Amino acid sequence: MRWSEASDSSKSAFHRKKITVVGAGHVGATAAFLAAQKELANIVMIDVMDGVPQGKALDMFESSPIQGFDALVHGTQDYAETADSDLVIITAGIARKPGMSRDDLLNINVKIVSEVTRSIVKYSPNCIILVVTNPLDAMVYTALKVSGFPKQRVIGMAGVLDSARMRAFIAQELQVSIENVAACVLGGHGDTMVPVPRYSTVAGIPITELMGAERVALICERTAKGGAEIVELLKTGSAFYAPGASVVQMAEAIIRDKKRILPCAAYLEGEYGVDGYYMGVPCKLGRDGVEAIIEMNLSDGEAAALHQSMLAVKELVKKVDAFGHF
């Protein structure tokens, strides 16, 4: 039996999109593997650690016959190999350690994200950027300012993760399928995030009608401290399965132009009374990035909590601006 190669023209007619994941640590590698499994695009992982992205990429590729995906996975230290990416996921940065707040990460990670963003812009000037690095609200702001991209194309991953944690806790509390649970979390990604119970539902029923106020309050508190809880348990690292899955859900909405309504860190210019900062709000995600921001009617208490969250983000942004990297 002989194999007859297709003509060059028919080969070039096939085109798979390209996603670059910056950082081949736990979050980046998880995101790369999940994106490959979904066949969203061919994946390039880039990391400063020699051999790490190459080794992990090869391991993922060798799993493809078992997992049944045809997406290619490639590791590199050279940004030239990320050229013409449709979407770039930034996970690079140091991880939070026990006793370390997200604010403590700022001084190191703002420099890392600035350098990464400049390289991204050089080789993929038309891409959409999804930022995962913490402290999230400051890092996505950094990427926006350094890149010079339109605000729709620089988005932070926070709300999907925070909402997922809240959904998990609600399902666990009520002993119901996770598929029936929706949750709403607004604001900054940190201790001042704003879970909104009356917009969080089980099969369309607000959780405030299904459990007492004390249980609702405990779930909201656990949601806000969800990342810290995992850090304390791991002792030498931070969450990566849920963050990786969360950013891939956003990536899928963009790459496949699904127009999904997902909670994202979006740059606000007057929405929710916030101007000039990234905050977690419901967004419509499609091929152009953030294609719409959905404004919900908030109670006085919810609006006040969101304002407090904005003030915390504002303090972070002041420090970022003081570095003068852009």
Residues that are catalytic: 189
Q: How far is CA 196 from CA 193, 216, 277, in A?
A: 10, 10, 20
The Cα 232–Cα 221 span in angstroms is 16
Q: 117 burial class (0-12, 13-18, 19+ CB within 10 angstroms)?
A: buried
Residue 302 tokens read as: 């919810």
In what helix (H) or strand (E) does residue 36 lie, and over which residues does it extend? helix 26-37
Q: Which residues neighbour 131 within 8 Å (Cβ) at sequence distance 6 or greater?
A: 90, 113, 139, 140, 143, 154, 155, 156, 157, 265
What are the backbone dihedrals phi and psi of residue 323, each rounded to the nearest 5 degrees, phi first? -70, -25
- In the chain, count H helices and then E strands: 10, 14
Q: What angle do CA 57, 253, 78 make, to 5 degrees?
A: 30
